[in-house]
Amino acid sequence: MKCEIIAVGTELLLGEIVNTDAQAISQGLAELGINVYFETVCGDNPERLRSVLEIAKGRADIIVTTGGLGPTADDLTKETIAAAFGKQLELHQPSMDRLLQHFKGRTMTPNNEKQAWLPQGCFVLDNDWGTAPGCAFEAEGCVVVMLPGPPSECVNMFRQRAMPYLAKLSGGTICSRYIRVFGMGESEMESKLTHQMQTWRNPTAAPYAKEGECLVRVTAMAETEEKARAMTEPALEELRAILGDVVYGVDVDSLEQVVVQEMTARGLTLAAAESCTGGLLGKRVTDIPGASACFLGGVVSYSNQAKQDLLGVKKETLEQFGAVSEQVACQMAEGVRRAMGADVGVSTTGVAGPGGSEQKPAGLVYIGLSTKEGTRAVRILKPNQSRDRVRRLASSTALDLIRRYVQGLSE
Amino acid sequence: MKCEIIAVGTELLLGEIVNTDAQAISQGLAELGINVYFETVCGDNPERLRSVLEIAKGRADIIVTTGGLGPTADDLTKETIAAAFGKQLELHQPSMDRLLQHFKGRTMTPNNEKQAWLPQGCFVLDNDWGTAPGCAFEAEGCVVVMLPGPPSECVNMFRQRAMPYLAKLSGGTICSRYIRVFGMGESEMESKLTHQMQTWRNPTAAPYAKEGECLVRVTAMAETEEKARAMTEPALEELRAILGDVVYGVDVDSLEQVVVQEMTARGLTLAAAESCTGGLLGKRVTDIPGASACFLGGVVSYSNQAKQDLLGVKKETLEQFGAVSEQVACQMAEGVRRAMGADVGVSTTGVAGPGGSEQKPAGLVYIGLSTKEGTRAVRILKPNQSRDRVRRLASSTALDLIRRYVQGLSE
């Protein structure tokens, strides 16, 4: 089956927003094994949308549209598509009831009602993330799926409403699971998983790189979601066994989420002393709601004076080894652990760049970890990387070091 | 003139990357006053690209393509476009010389040479950001511009090579300037600038909202870039006069950049005490290379104990007013200023959410500022916003408070 994605919205053509809807839909269709050969963007203009639909009819079995389902006068996707496929719009009472419920206690203007008018005989895709319902129908040998444009609505509607509908057409439902990895490069991961990637058909395994981390998506298709999910289990087990303890979680969002969960579950507390990351590590930990259960706080010791005054780093150590050194990283981690009365102290000190010297080049970072078992530091060196990437990687390395300590793994 | 953007790349159709190239090109074309009616994505497949080109020829005066100019076997855009317009490829010796220079001291494999073969008679767009040159030509009533796909190359090539080429076709070159604003909403800004937005033709003024801030883009077109730039000056002056001191800079990147520049220029030092932002404020300041010239560091006092131990916040104040209060914000700012020996101390304490109480709802944040002139705090309340947005806004408010103090403006 060949699919074409049509995004409708003048704001896309003006470059006001980027077409993330198309990306999310493309990913989901790839999981379903449906090929996307073309993607088109056109404005909120009925004639041009009509011409785009005629072209798509001739080269696609499935057409997925985004945008133009809302209440305003320029939202004309539904009307234009219905006309292109010779269909009338009719009032869909359950959708009208949902709208009335949504506007309960407020005035619902008449233009909002038009969102409940849908092509006759269509399958309605309820919108739990906004007001405009989506819909799907088959006509003239094509499957047409219409989704709202705002990304938060579109992506949820696509994954939770449209994907099950499309999977049923091909006789199943799908389940995707994600293995998250830190500390192994994408190419190394791919070489370890070549066999699974190339030979698995259901479930499939697909690797991705994302912000200095890697993940593997495992997707299974079966008659029911439960069966599909059950099929992913042995696959996840096999992949975890191959990848080992670089796997920091399955179906989790981030390293910081795992750190907060695992420390909170064990009743452990954390404090951070940051130099080159300048607050990024604390920021990432406190991105997680409920981080206060384990995170006491930290010190951003950007200046050497702050390292001495607030963390007790020794002046002689700074003079002898420099601020960017294993010794200072260890004293920073110990110092913040002591100052905050935390179970675990972590530290970063490095050269984020640009700039740096021959002995201390940009990309050199030491990460310290202090616990009741002792204090140690690891060294990372990532030359020719942007300041952003060095800082991101330093904070990720610190988080992974905490994760490994908490889980009782070797360094 | 009507333009169609064609992005070539199977990775787009698989959803592996998002089509940021199309957004950047759309924005630039809008600045040039060129309408984009359609955008298309197709894979690295000559037949399908050929069919897309035939459709574009029939509905566009300008075709801009991205992707498929590289050295690998599936990079076939140039060959396919040349064939579609009846052109041969010929060796462009200056591009070959650039390639040889690029690979100096390393082996250049034969497939790299193909990057120097370009459609006969084309205008070559030199690539200073990668190896594959772009090119442009006119044929069959169409202007065709080809750009490489990697975003860092594509965006620079488009703005610095293709836009001057396209501007010349319409008899000029363009210059865009950006006014950055914090502390005024997009709709208020639009209502203040309605006259300029609607009546100005050259230069034009266009407002944008971006991550809780606003900006106005002023674009002028003239025979030379110097003349275009000169035309933007009175426009910038007029807009600044209307907007007042919410304007934090022209042609600057961010609030943090302005804060670091202005403090460094005045020899002032900064320290930050962060509760609800958890390190984000320090992270943003230290995003700026050279931040160490003014930023001494800070304390992330997520727990009340840390507020007392490291910042000297009084136990009674915490008990009487709570951690999220004007009083605690002031004591935090004073405390960090004293602990770090800084000229300016800034603090954040608030409820980032989700959660919160009736008295202290999610979105309530106090920002403290302590200087030699005294200490004060401002209150912001942004209910119904995500944790991310509350934290981002709190850190922006803190940065703007510092900016206003340093520039001698009223609160």
Closest CA to A258 of A38, A406, A110, A85: A406
**For residue range A297-352, what is the model confidence (pLDDT) as tens digits?**
999 999 999 999 999 999 999 999 999 999 999 999 999 999 999 999 999 999 99
The answer, for B54 touching chain A at a CB cutoff of 8 Å, is: no
The B residues from 58 to 117 touching A (CB cutoff 8 Å) are 59
The verdict on a CB contact (< 8 Å) between A354 and B289 is yes
Collect all residues of chain B within an 8 Å Cβ-Cβ radius of residue A41. 22, 38-40
Give strand pairing partners of B145: B64, B136
pLDDT above 70 for B411 = no
Closest A-chain CA to B299: A299
CB B362 within 8 A of CB B383: yes
CA distance B148 to B129: 10
Give the other-Cβ count within 10 Å of B386's Cβ: 14
Label residues B387-407 b or e (16+ Cβ within 10 Å = b): bebbbbbbbbbbbbbbbbbbe
Collect all residues of chain B within an 8 Å Cβ-Cβ radius of residue A35. 13
**Rounded to 5 degrees, what angle do the CA atoms A79, A80, A81 make?**
95
Tell me which DSSP letter residue A292 carries: G
Closest CA to B8 of B39, B41, B38: B41
List helix spans (H) across B250-371: 255-266, 280-286, 304-311, 315-321, 326-340
The shortest C-alpha distance from A210 to chain B (Å) reads: 10
The verdict on a CB contact (< 8 Å) between A23 and B20 is no
The answer, for B390 touching chain A at a CB cutoff of 8 Å, is: no
**For residue range B322-343, what is the model confidence (pLDDT) as tens digits?**
999 999 999 999 999 999 999 9
Query: Can you say whether residue A15 is alpha, beta or left, with left for phi > 0 and alpha for psi between -120 and 50 degrees?
Result: left
pLDDT at B46: 94
CA distance B405 to A30: 53
Confidence of residue A411 (pLDDT cuts 50, 70, 90): low
Closest CA to A271 of A410, A373, A369: A369
Of B277, B280, B292, nearest to A302 by CB-CB distance is B292
The answer, for A341 touching chain B at a CB cutoff of 8 Å, is: yes
CA distance A287 to B269: 27
Give the other-Cβ count within 10 Å of A147's Cβ: 30
Collect all residues of chain B within an 8 Å Cβ-Cβ radius of residue A303. 292, 295-297, 340
Of B29, B279, B339, nearest to A279 by CB-CB distance is B279
Phi, psi of B120 (to 5 degrees): -60, 135
CA distance A128 to B14: 27
**For residue range B197-239, what is the model confidence (pLDDT) as tens digits?**
889 988 988 887 777 788 898 988 888 889 999 999 999 999 9
Helix A46-59, helix A77-84: angle, nearest 10:
50
pLDDT at B23: 96
Summarize the confidence of residues A81-89 as an average pLDDT: 96
For β-strands A89-91 and A374-381, DSSP reports them as unpaired
Which parts of B211-245 are beta strand (E)?
A: 213-222
The B residues from 197 to 236 touching A (CB cutoff 8 Å) are 208
Tell me which DSSP letter residue A385 carries: -
Closest CA to B171 of B34, B63, B58, B3: B34
The verdict on a CB contact (< 8 Å) between A36 and B22 is no
pLDDT above 80 for A394 = yes
The verdict on a CB contact (< 8 Å) between B18 and A14 is no
Which of A271 and B410 is assigned the larger pLDDT?
A271
Give the other-Cβ count within 10 Å of A166's Cβ: 23
Distances (CA, A) of A215 to A18, A253, A394: 24, 11, 19
Which of B208 and B401 is assigned the larger pLDDT?
B401
The shortest C-alpha distance from B96 to chain A (Å) reads: 26
Give the other-Cβ count within 10 Å of B73's Cβ: 9
Closest CA to B307 of B350, B336, B283, B282: B336
pLDDT at A306: 92
CA distance A108 to A104: 8
User: B57 Cβ partners below 8 Å, 6+ apart?
Assistant: B63, B84, B140, B142
The two three-digit tokens of residue B62, written as one number: 């300008």
ipTM of the complex: 0.77
Of B14, B27, B303, nearest to A15 by CB-CB distance is B27
The shortest C-alpha distance from B317 to chain A (Å) reads: 19
* Helix, strand, coil content of chain B in percent (nearest 5): 45, 25, 30
Mean pLDDT (chain B) is: 93
CB B207 within 8 A of CB B214: yes
CA distance B77 to B90: 15
Summarize the confidence of residues A238-247 as an average pLDDT: 96
- Please report, to the nearest 10 degrees, the dihedral formed by the alpha carbons of residues B181, B187, B190, B191 taken in order: -120
Q: What is the pTM of this model?
A: 0.79
Distances (CA, A) of A245 to A183, A219, B126, B236: 9, 22, 47, 56
Confidence of residue A74 (pLDDT cuts 50, 70, 90): confident
The two three-digit tokens of residue A37, written as one number: 């050969």
CA B185 to chain centre: 18
**For residue range A344-361, what is the model confidence (pLDDT) as tens digits?**
999 999 999 888 898 999
Collect all residues of chain B within an 8 Å Cβ-Cβ radius of residue A289. 352-355, 387
Q: Which of A241-255, B159-173, B336-350 has the lowest mean pLDDT?
A: B159-173
The two three-digit tokens of residue B352, written as one number: 């980032």
Tell me which DSSP letter residue A151 carries: H
Summarize the confidence of residues B285-304 as an average pLDDT: 95
The two three-digit tokens of residue A280, written as one number: 């990024």
Summarize the confidence of residues A167-173 as an average pLDDT: 77
Of B28, B35, B302, nearest to A296 by CB-CB distance is B302
The verdict on a CB contact (< 8 Å) between B22 and A42 is no
